[in-house]
Amino acid sequence: MDQYQEYTLEDFVLDARFQGWVRHRGAADAVFWQQYLDENPAQAEDIQSARKLLDRVYRHYRTDIDEAEIDLEIQGLLERVRAEKRQMGGRRMEEREDGRWEPGIVSESGVVIESEIESGVVEEVGRVVPLRRPWHAGIWVKVAACAVLVIGLGWVGWQYYCFNCGYNGLVSGKELVERVNTSEKQQVIKLTDGTQVVLYPQSRLSFAETFPADQRTVYLSGDAYFQVAKDPKRPFLVHTTDLVTKVLGTSFFVRARDASDKTLVEVREGKVSVFKQKEFAARRNVQSKMPNGMVLTPNQKLIFEHASSEMRRTLSDNPEIVPSDNPKTFEFVNAPASSVLTDIEEAYQIDIIFDRDVMKGCPVTASLAGQPMFSKLSILCEVIEARYEVLDGKVVIYSKGCKS
């Protein structure tokens, strides 16, 4: 969704996905854009105006042709094509005069007679019948089509995409218990192995009533936070439409909304490996090597983009200090910048890449306690005239060293 952050009215009206929403009013798009609006209220005005503008254009140029009319045209077209084919076929037949083609000739000629009659009729029907059709027939056809459409949309809205894809496809045919959070509040679910799951609103979680001896598998659609009970012998697996997250004992967050084009895994404690659902499934079927998973450590976040089918690793938006026995104070008086960075690394358990020798020469006096991690980094960088970047779930510090 990040791509839309900088969008103005002009960008929205030119965006294919936005256009699709205004034009077709699909349930999946509606969910996506409603969610986007909720998360980005500052863009509400542009979005509403863009929607209004597009809606006017779509209404203005609406074309009135019904499916039956198109079907007749296609039928007519096929008659012409078949007539042409017969001509060609007939010519070939004359050239060959081959007895073995007999069955072919029979069926071909059978079609010839039939379609010659038909094509005459179709010519007539195609042009005349729509006009002669009683007026009420037209209305009823349209009313019926509308009703089907409304029912269809309602159903799609509930199922999001389709019955056998995504989450529904994952859980179908398995004996599972399902918990659905239809409330407005988060729900805590305790699994038999001691794992706690915070299930967010509009999310569903399925799992076996008792886990087998070798693994613990759950299926998620929506958002959930997992605090997994340690059990090294039984890995804990979270299956979502696009990804499989595998853990031994840890806390992490998964966002896998079926209507969204992204899946997100965010780690608070411990380590998890994430695999693409497709590759994970393939490995199980063909006993091949371990698929190429991506390992996530605390405060790292993985984003899977459905469109590109790629996994991207970055840092959480707001990394949190990992609980430890000797917490850092983040009070520095004339401390070398390198030791500030090391403290941040240890407290948040993230990797910071910097030149230790260059950083030794930069003394820092600062009180960074209580600041979010990225603020700590910004303040430090300002003090030592450096800048930082987040790359592949790590922080990189660029500095030319200090003059003093």
Partner 1 sequence: MQSHPENNADDADLWKLFRAGDDEAFGQIARHYYKSLFSYGSKFSRDREFVKDCIQDLFMELWAKRETIGDTAFVKFYLLKSLRRKIYRESQRQQWISEGEELDFSAQAIGDASIEEHIIEIETNEAMLKTLNQQINLLTRRQQEVIYLRFFESMDNEAIAQVMGISRPAVANLLYRTIQELKDRL
The least CB distance from residue 75 to partner 1, in Å, is: 8
- Are residues 256 and 221 in contact, defined by beta-carbon separation less than 8 angstroms? yes
131 binds partner 1 (CB under 8 A): no
Residues 6+ apart with CB under 8 A from 321: 327, 328, 347, 348
Q: Is residue 60 a contact point for partner 1 (CB under 8 A)? A: yes
Closer CB to partner 1, residue 55 or residue 178?
55
Instruction: Give the shortest CB-332-to-partner 1 separation in angstroms.
Output: 51
Amino acid at 403: K
Residues shown for the chain:
404
Nearest to 242 by CA among 227, 225, 221: 221
CA distance 253 to 20: 31
Work out which of 39, 45, 73, 98 binds partner 1, going by CB under 8 A.
Answer: 73
Residue 216 CA to residue 204 CA, distance in Å, equals: 17
Task: Verify binding: residue 189, partner 1, rule CB under 8 A.
Answer: no
Of the pair 10, 331, the CB lying nearest partner 1 is at 10
First to last CA, the chain: 44
Distance CA 371, CA 340 (A): 14
Q: Which two tokens stand for residue 23?
A: 């034009």
Does 127 contact partner 1 by CB under 8 A? Answer: yes
Side-chain-side CA neighbours of 38 within 13 Å: the count stands at 6
25 contributes a contact to partner 1 by CB under 8 A: no
**Is there binding between residue 233 and partner 1 (CB under 8 A)?**
no
List the interface residues with partner 1, window 30-49 (CB under 8 A).
Answer: 49
Residue 68: CB minimum distance to partner 1, A: 12
Q: How does DSSP assign 230-285, residue by residue? A: P-TTS-EEEE-SSEEEEESS-EEEEEE-TTSSEEEEEEEES-EEEEEHHHHHHHHH
Candidates 14-22, 36-44, 268-276, 388-396 — which segment interacts with partner 1 by CB under 8 A? 14-22
Q: Least distance in Å: CB of 13 to partner 1?
A: 6
Q: Which of 225, 235, 167 is nearest to 201 (CA)?
A: 225
- Between CA 228 and CA 193 the distance in angstroms is 9
Q: Measured from the CB of residue 6, what is the shortest distance to partner 1 in angstroms?
A: 17
Pair 324, 354: CB distance under 8 Å: no
302 binds partner 1 (CB under 8 A): no
> Of residues 45, 84, 382, 385, which one binds partner 1 by CB under 8 A?
84
Write down the least CB distance from residue 115 to partner 1, Å.
11
140 binds partner 1 (CB under 8 A): no
Tell me the window of 24-32, 136-144, 219-227, 283-291 that interacts with partner 1 (CB under 8 A). 136-144
In whole angstroms, give the CA distance from residue 345 to residue 335: 16
Using the contact rule CB under 8 A, the part of the chain among 63-71, 228-236, 364-372, 374-382 near partner 1 is 63-71
Distance CA 188, CA 204 (A): 12
> Of 13 and 170, which CB lies nearer to partner 1 in the complex structure?
13
Does residue 62 touch partner 1 according to CB under 8 A? yes
73-81, 153-161, 176-184, 321-329 -> range binding partner 1 (CB under 8 A): 73-81
For partner 1, which is the closer residue by CB, 62 or 233?
A: 62
Residues that bind partner 1 (CB under 8 A): 9-10, 13-14, 16, 19, 23, 49, 52-54, 56-65, 70-71, 73-74, 76-78, 80-82, 84-85, 127, 138-139, 142
